[in-house]
Chains A and B, each alone.
Chain A
């Protein structure tokens, strides 16, 4: 017995990669504490550093003028096996740094830098947005709401992925609803590009307008503007005197289901920046690092629609960051279950069906990278627009 244990231990030790390296993660001016993008970048890298026994340092940027010096300072030391840039704002700086330090391995989240030593990690946001869209469309039809909404930030290519997938998902949900119930109640789309990733009031105003036009829920695709979206929805419920049910809030990037004690947040289209960072570190440790684009979708666990297990993970994340009180944890979980229960089980099964279809490749979600491609998708899935 003891011999076997010893052997197992030897095998385990041998299997553990011997790799005493260092990784650095460089954040943009948003910095830590956003409970979303930057915090997830940190979390993923930290997790990878723990798992592979690496040393990790975190470098924040006080201003945009620090991006390039931060990358240069780190690369000049020649100590780092990988430098991860979290956020597309660092793209220009990395473009230059990668050319100056061709032997340094870099990774960047959400941007494509064309250099042999840069791993550009992008996400197929269209896939999880399709799931959110399908859920919204079927919920709208179920409750007799004419529309479902989405509040977007600045009109940049990354956001086209979201809009394209959302449109496809709503269309899929409309067809599914007609097929299951035998009555066609096509849900329309209300969408607004607010032109901001920071002005919370714009999110609230856009959401209020959508709720007035009968939106069953609003999908936040503008980072912090979601706080405004949720505020508008919460006020709408207060005026109506309801505690759960439509209208719903759909979160983005992180699992935002726990926001507002999960009263109205039904689901989140998650973009796992942490998985992206983890993937990059893992590739370096295992020696499979190559420059070029690494696309993470549903199949790679890079994106997804929030499940109960994600809620548990991110609720603790919120508590550790001080954004949620520990004593509210149980109430949040209970609220979440009640709110989810307002959607019939067959709709949840339909969403799972769409997810399975995307995973096995039988359903292909369209995407858009340019204005022209986006126009084509808008023309294909008009969703109530004339």
Chain B
């Protein structure tokens, strides 16, 4: 009885799976978005909000006009960078969770330009350089641990996130602090700020840096020999090694490039984000941008061009979500807005997550190996 029940259902599931996986990626994303929106609508309906009006507010708030579109793009800028950090390393076969911490360090380095004076353009350039170098240097810690001791980058980057978080807390509170406004650091001088692109919005010239960097990553990964090596090492490390590719080199390179991206995210949120142009105590303007970047990378299929669109989508969700809070007679409170956003993002990320499942499983096995390797050491000690 049971076998006859299961078999047709199994065939049905396989059929659906084949249909879905055969879809064009863009169509797949649209389908995922529709599913996410439906789940969000059901959630809002259950808790007594009007999904139709709420989504109308979301759409108007995200793309309803020049101001809205500029705000959406502005919100997506740092996410482009942190998503690139994750994607570059993923293409090289590693799970780099460290964008968050590298971004903090980059932001702190960018604030340092407030302590000296330079001509306008040069000052900005030096700030960008500081942030990029600082992010890359911070990413070397987990990279070297992996290369020399085989430490899983998942664990080490998470640990480094905490170190950088409290290090930057300290720097903000005691070193870079503005003596007159102790809740934040000194402000970045006008000569080192990204000029505002659309007056009356948060959109600064940092967006050009983000797009340029994404294109650069695309060219490097897909149109240079080094990029080919990185991707080859990521797809099948053993075959790549057999082909004469130095895995250590590709790992180091991808980590460093990812670190540069995260550092630039820090620069964009300090030198290019009005009105404060500083880091506030507790890092409330930076917090979670690195982790959100991972979701952006998933939605953008870990491709630099896809990430540009995904970041715009995320920025739109964020900017529109703000409007959902006060639009109409029964506005949706921020907590509910975030639940809905979570449903949409999760649905959008699922296709890529499924595709990545073998790689995820491999990372898990690597983790297990790291833990298992410690055992003989303790036995020797005993």
Determine the distance from Cα of A59 to Cα of B335 in the docked complex, in whole angstroms. Answer: 11
Bound together, the chains give a CA A197 to CA B61 distance in angstroms of 33
Q: Which residues of A contact B201 (CB under 8 A)?
A: 72
Distance A197 CA – B331 CA, assembled complex (angstroms)? 31
Partner of B326 from A64, A74, A198 at Cβ < 8 Å: A74
Of A58, A76, A89, the residue contacting B183 (CB under 8 A) is A89
Contacts of A197 in B (CB 8 A): 281
B94: interface (CB < 8 Å): no
For residue A155, which residues in chain B have a CB less than 8 angstroms away from its CB? 182
Q: How far is the CB of A268 from chain B (nearest CB, A)?
A: 24
When A89-B183, A93-B275 are in contact, do A69 and B322 touch as well, CB less than 8 Å?
A: yes
CA distance in complex: A51, B170 (Å): 46
Hey, what's the 0/1 contact readout for A25-66 against B, CB within 8 Å counting as 1? 000110100000000000000000000000001111011111
Q: Is the CB of A96 within 8 A of B275?
A: yes
Q: Which residue of A lies closest to B331 (CB)?
A: A57
Whether the pair A24, B326 counts as a contact (CB closer than 8 A) is: yes
| Segment at the A interface, from B146-154, B245-253, B284-292, B295-303 | B284-292
B286 to A: closest C-beta gap in Å: 8
Contact of B322 among A66, A77, A89, A154 (CB under 8 A): A66
- Contact with A64, one of B173, B182, B276 (Cβ below 8 angstroms): B276
**Residue A364 at the B interface, CB < 8 A?**
no
Residues of A92-122 whose CB lies within 8 A of B: 92-93, 95-96, 100
Which of A63, A66, A156 lies in contact with B182, CB distance below 8 A?
A: A156
Q: Which of B61, B322, B323 has the most CB of A within 10 A?
A: B322
| B285–A64 touching, CB < 8 Å | yes
In the bound complex, do residue A60 and residue B325 qualify as a contact, i.e. CB atoms below 8 Å apart?
Answer: yes
Nearest CB in chain B: distance from A72 CB, A: 7
- Is the Cβ of B183 less than 8 Å from the Cβ of A154? yes
Chain B 55-74 interface mask (CB, 8 Å, partner A; 1/0): 00000010000010001000
Most buried by B among A70, A77, A89: A89
Whole-angstrom distance between the Cβ of A314 and the nearest chain B Cβ: 23
Whether A70 contacts B333 in the complex (CB less than 8 A), given A64-B280, A92-B275, A96-B274, comes out as: no
A95 surroundings in chain B (CB, below 8 A): 275
A357 located at the interface, meaning its Cβ lies under 8 Å from any Cβ of chain B in the complex:
no
A73 CB within 8 Å of chain B = yes
Q: A64-B280, A69-B202, A69-B322 are in contact. Are A88 and B334 (CB under 8 A)?
A: no
Among B173, B288, B323, B325, which residue has the most Cβ atoms of chain A within 10 A? B325
Q: How far is the CB of A95 from chain B (nearest CB, A)?
A: 7
Whether A344 sits at the interface, judged by CB under 8 Å, is: no
Min CB gap B230→A, angstroms: 32
B175 to chain A minimum Cβ distance, whole angstroms, is 12
Give A370's nearest chain B residue, CB to CB: B180
Residue of A whose beta carbon sits closest to that of B275: A96
Interface residues on B, range: 35 or more
Residues of B283-340 at the interface with A, using a CB-CB cut-off of 8 Å, are 284-285, 287-288, 318-319, 321-323, 325-326, 331, 333-334, 338
Q: A64-B280, A154-B182, A156-B183 are in contact. Are A76 and B67 (CB under 8 A)?
A: yes
A68 on the B face (CB < 8 A): yes
Across-interface contacts of A76 in B (CB, < 8 A):
67
Residues of A in contact with B, size category: 35 or more
CA distance A62 to B289 in the complex (A): 12
With both chains docked as a complex, state the minimum distance between the C-beta of B312 and any C-beta of chain A, in angstroms. 16
* Interface: B351 (CB within 8 A): no
Distance (Å) between the CB of A59 and the closest chain B CB? 5
A69 in contact with B173 (CB, 8 Å): no
Bound state CA distance, A31 and B326, in angstroms? Answer: 16
| Docked-complex contact A31 and B334, CB < 8 angstroms | yes
Is there a chain B Cβ closer than 8 Å to A195's Cβ? yes
Q: How far is the CA of A89 from the CA of B283 in the complex (A)?
A: 12
- Given A59-B326, A62-B338, A156-B183, the answer on whether A69 and B319 have CB atoms closer than 8 Å is yes
Please give me the residue from chain B that is nearest to A96 by CB atom.
B275
Give every chain B residue within 8 A of A92 (Cβ-Cβ): 275-276
Using a CB-CB cutoff of 8 Å, which residues 151-173 of chain A contact chain B?
154-156
Nearest CB of chain B from residue A64's CB, rounded to whole Å: 4
**A72→B200 contact, CB < 8 A:** yes
Q: Scoring A residues 116 to 136 as 1 if CB is less than 8 Å from chain B, else 0, what string do you get?
A: 000000000000000000000
Interface residue ranges, A against B (CB under 8 Å): 24, 28-29, 31, 57-60, 62-66, 68-70, 72-74, 76-77, 88-89, 92-93, 95-96, 100, 154-156, 195-198
23 pairs from A and B in contact (CB 8 Å cutoff): A57-B325, A59-B326, A59-B334, A60-B325, A60-B333, A63-B287, A63-B288, A65-B75, A68-B202, A68-B274, A69-B71, A69-B319, A72-B67, A72-B200, A76-B67, A88-B183, A154-B173, A154-B182, A156-B182, A156-B183, A195-B173, A197-B281, A198-B282
| The 4 A-B residue pairs with the shortest CB-CB distance in the complex, in nearest-first order | A64-B285, A64-B284, A60-B334, A96-B275
